[in-house]
Amino acid sequence: MCRNIKMLHNFDPPATDEEVYLSSLQFVRKLSGCTRPSKANEAAFDRAVNKVTLAARELIDQLVSNAPPRDREVEAMKARARSAERFRTSPSSG
């Protein structure tokens, strides 16, 4: 689950509220061990996601960097290359 949490700091354009929310949702899912809470736990789950979202947004907004902002397209290409390398098929032996 946590593999879906992306770094959100120092991008141009900055992280959207939706990106922060989705990362927070993944974090709470990992902590709770469930992707969909039961009705009995739904309110607590939703509160946790909202609190983590607020904390994450505050953190991202307050972080500073001397590095130039990263380009989303360049980072996406790097991620695709890493994925292709990781999941490439090995040559068949025989």
The predicted-structure confidence for 21-74, as pLDDT tens digits, reads as follows: 999 999 999 999 999 999 999 999 999 999 999 999 999 999 999 999 999 889
Buried b (16+ CB within 10 A) or exposed e, 22-58: bbbbbbbbeeeeeeebeeeeeeebeebbeebbeebbe
Which of 1-10, 13-22, 73-82 is predicted with the least confidence, judged by mean pLDDT? 1-10
pLDDT band at 6 (very low <50, low <70, confident <90, very high): confident
Buried b (16+ CB within 10 A) or exposed e, 74-83: eeeeeeeeee
Residue 93: pLDDT over 80: no
Token pair in block for residue 76: 């996406």
In a domain, 1, yes or no: no
In a domain, 93, yes or no: no
Angle CA 55–59–65, to nearest 5: 170
Residue with tokens 């960097």, as numbered in its chain: 65
In a domain, 72, yes or no: yes
Q: Determine the structural domain holding residue 75 and report its residue range.
A: 8-87
For the chain, the domain total comes to 1
What pTM did the predictor assign? 0.78
In a domain, 94, yes or no: no
* Burial class of residue 20, CB neighbours in 10 A (0-12, 13-18, 19+): buried
